Amino acid sequence: MMKKSSNTSSTTSNSKMAESLNIKVVRLQSGEDIIADVITDDDITILNNPMVVMIRRSTSGSVMMMVPWLPVEVISDNIATLNNSEIVTETNPKNSLIEYYLNAVGQVAKESEMNGDMLAKANDQIKESGETTDWTDELEEYYEDEPNTLEELLNTMQGPKDKKQLH
């Protein structure tokens, strides 16, 4: 019974949280369906905690899956800003989907925090071992033959001027 009451309190807190958010399903020009807390301005839309909603339909039924849209393991804020022209439509999700989304966002936040702790520990171990490497010189050497300006880049793309062009 204790399990049931804890689920009820979790559902209640999710319901209160959902009321303060503007959770929408957004269909992008790319065809992706994203569920997020949406803030729309004149030209942009901000997606807080965006998750991709994937539905696979078959003759035996449908299966839904939800995964983070952004690489949450390596970013500081799970927020995306889109031009409104990238959005085809937005709609209200079912309450059951909102609850599933809020639970998934909570789980992703926990996992992201654990990943951050692991990265911090790994960085500390590297610093303690004294095996830090300055990659700057190697990167400069690697890119030293690369064009430095737009004009240089365009010249390399055009190729030698003495060849006859086909078009």
pLDDT digits (tens, 9 = 90+) for 95-109: 999 999 999 999 988
Average pLDDT of every residue of the chain: 80
Between 8-12, 60-64, 71-75, the lowest mean confidence (pLDDT) is in 8-12
Give the pLDDT confidence score for residue 161 in this predicted structure: 56
Two tokens, residue 111 = 């996992």
What is the CATH number assigned to the segment(s) 23-129? 2.30.30.100
Q: Residues, the chain, total?
A: 167
Q: How far apart are CA 69 and CA 79, in angstroms?
A: 10
Give the pLDDT confidence score for residue 75 in this predicted structure: 87
Q: Name the β-bridge partners of 54.
A: 65
User: Which residues contact residue 14 at a Cβ distance below 8 angstroms, ignoring those fewer than 6 apart?
Assistant: 98, 99, 102, 103
Please state the φ and ψ torsions of residue 91, each to the nearest 5 degrees.
Answer: -145, 165
Give the pLDDT confidence score for residue 7 in this predicted structure: 42
Please state the φ and ψ torsions of residue 117, each to the nearest 5 degrees.
Answer: -65, -40
Q: Minimal CA–CA distance to 26: which of 92, 78, 123?
A: 92
Q: Minimal CA–CA distance to 51: which of 83, 96, 98?
A: 98
pLDDT digits (tens, 9 = 90+) for 115-127: 777 777 777 777 7
Q: How far apart are CA 149 and CA 142, in angstroms?
A: 17
Give the pLDDT confidence score for residue 113 in this predicted structure: 76
Indicate the domain borders of the chain.
23-129
pLDDT of residue 88 exceeding 60, the answer is yes
Count of C-beta atoms within a 10 Å radius of residue 80:
16
pLDDT digits (tens, 9 = 90+) for 19-38: 779 999 999 999 999 999 99
The one-letter amino acid code at 55 reads: I
